[in-house]
Chains A and B, each alone.
Chain A
Amino acid sequence: MAGNSEGPLLPEDKGASKEEVKAKKPLARTFHCTNCGASVTLRCPGATLSVVCDSCHSIIDATDPNYRVLVKYYKATASYTPLLDLGLRGELKGRTWEVIGFMVRSDCVSRYHWEEYLLFNPYYGYRWLTQDKGHWNFVTPIKQKPQSGSSNNCYLDGKQFKLYNRGDAQVDYVVGEFYWRVMINSRVLMTDYIDPPRMLSSEKDDTEINWSLSEYITPAEIHAAFKPTKKLPYPVGVSATYPPKYKKTDDRIKLLFVLFWGIITCAQIYCAGTSLNDVAAQYNGTFVPNTKKADTTIPVFELKKDLANVFINVHANVSNSWFWIGGELVNDDTGVSYPIDTSVEYYYGTDSDGAWSEGGTTATAKIAQVPKGKYYINFDYESGDFKQLGGPTLQDFGVVVTRDVPTYDNYVWTFLGLLLGPLLSFAIMRKTEVARWENSDFSPYATSSYSSSYD
């Protein structure tokens, strides 16, 4: 045996300190295999019902005075080597456990196999460690029968566990000691329900149903506890009980999103409520369709508030025609100017699909962050109207300059920007969950064509 193996933990050790328990000298019972004559060590005499001979793999009745052989000459068809040697002792969940048994089990249909290590502590009984693709679970047998919910879930202490797997499992390989008469190829109906990082499992045979509760445990914890000589495999993929780390992150991101959303909503309400929305200047004029006119000036007007937007609203009664304004808003003191370029276009008619229209008789040029001061506007304008090519008719147009208009563009863009975080978080979490359930016949993410035959 490698590692920190010592004598077995026995009930009379109760009351001893952990150091005393760990340093305890061997008290194991040794006998000769009644099949091959090799030496067989019984680590937990009195608690073990069957033990497997390391040499010939015969399963021996540990309670029989003559060590009757239960199954002879069993030869492992595959080479299974336990990662945790029998006799290793380590502290998990605050208690000391000794590895006394190892078995490999597989799904009878898919032949998918996994490893199970039986742990023993005379005060606390038996526990299991399961290892599957580098993922470990600490398994505790429970006496409490979970409450059954719908066909695909059950409840333990008010917590819902979702059906993950159901099928026959068989024992492929055993070595060590067990508290029942273990038989190669013996089968049970296994049903697993998950609420990561926990899993509820039931094993049913002809005589009984046993329930157990598993909890994910990292390879680092296993290594720290048992200090195995063999290198533990690196976890591959997302196991059924892999901790939903992104769930907490996702919850925090959702909380932050609500907080940020509240902040920008309050700010939006405040800014919209305190905006001036002040008409600073107005200009009404006429234009002749299909002509240009340059250098029209809106006289000097005052823009209040230190820094705010300016909306230049243009109105013209165009009808299947257009009216364009181009110019600039100029600071009368500094000469700093802001370009204006907008057109009013309105078209309508009927075609095979019925009536249609596009555009309108108003347009707005928006200028951001204009400092306060005195300003004027110079602009050119031009129009086009194919209906009035025969002769000119004067038409009216108007320009309204409004200072500090409440807007909602920023609110929408910021909201969408803030929304990216929760969306990304949700996508990552969903990807993890889809990977978790891809080995299950009961995946809530499967399409209907893959739905389980158990449904």
Chain B
Amino acid sequence: MDWLYLVTGSFLCWLFITATSTGGYVINLYGNGAVRPTGPGAHYHK
């Protein structure tokens, strides 16, 4: 089981470093992300 933890833990560390250094989230609870409005909701664009 320790090898499985080695793999999982390494992945979590990689995910953490990648996300934190790019302003991302390991867990994005609110699902925030970029969108490109194309329909009626695009009224915010000037």
Residues in chain A within 8 A of chain B (CB atoms): 249, 252-253, 256-257, 260, 263-264, 267-268, 271, 295, 297, 306-310, 327-328, 330, 335-339, 366-370, 376, 378-380, 404, 407, 409-411, 413-414, 417-418, 421, 424-425, 428
Chain B residues near A367 (CB-CB < 8 A): 32
Q: How many angstroms from the CA of A263 to the CA of B10 in the assembled complex?
A: 10
Beyond known contacts A263-B13, A328-B37: 11 more, CB 8 A cutoff:
A249-B1, A257-B5, A257-B9, A267-B20, A271-B21, A337-B35, A366-B30, A366-B32, A410-B20, A418-B13, A421-B8
* B36 with A335: CB separation less than 8 A: yes
B residues 1-46 touching A (CB-CB < 8 Å): 1-2, 5-6, 8-10, 12-13, 15-17, 19-28, 30, 32-37, 43-46
Partner of A378, one of B5, B21, B45: B45
Chain A residues near B25 (CB-CB < 8 A): 368, 409-410
Chain A residues near B21 (CB-CB < 8 A): 267, 271
* A330 with B44: CB separation less than 8 A: yes
Partner of A253, one of B5, B16, B44: B5
Q: How many angstroms from the CA of A421 to the CA of B32 in the assembled complex?
A: 29
Residues in chain B within 8 A of chain A (CB atoms): 1-2, 5-6, 8-10, 12-13, 15-17, 19-28, 30, 32-37, 43-46
Once A335-B45, A337-B35 are accepted as A-B contacts, the answer to whether A404 and B8 lie under 8 Å apart by CB is no
Q: How many angstroms from the CA of A263 to the CA of B35 in the assembled complex?
A: 34
Partner of A297, one of B26, B35, B46: B46
* B26 with A369: CB separation less than 8 A: no
Which residue on chain B has the smallest CB distance to residue A428? B1
Once A249-B2, A335-B45, A414-B16 are accepted as A-B contacts, the answer to whether A307 and B23 lie under 8 Å apart by CB is yes
* B46 with A414: CB separation less than 8 A: no
Partner of A413, one of B26, B33, B44: B26
Q: How far is the CB of A372 from chain B (nearest CB, A)?
A: 11
Once A328-B44, A404-B23 are accepted as A-B contacts, the answer to whether A267 and B5 lie under 8 Å apart by CB is no
Partner of B13, one of A260, A297, A409: A260
* B17 with A267: CB separation less than 8 A: yes
- 19 example contacts (A-B, Cβ-Cβ < 8 A) are as follows A249-B1, A253-B5, A260-B10, A263-B17, A267-B20, A306-B22, A307-B24, A327-B44, A328-B35, A328-B37, A339-B35, A367-B32, A368-B32, A369-B22, A369-B33, A370-B23, A411-B16, A413-B27, A417-B12
Q: How far is the CB of B40 from chain A (nearest CB, A)?
A: 14
* B26 with A337: CB separation less than 8 A: no
* A338 with B35: CB separation less than 8 A: yes
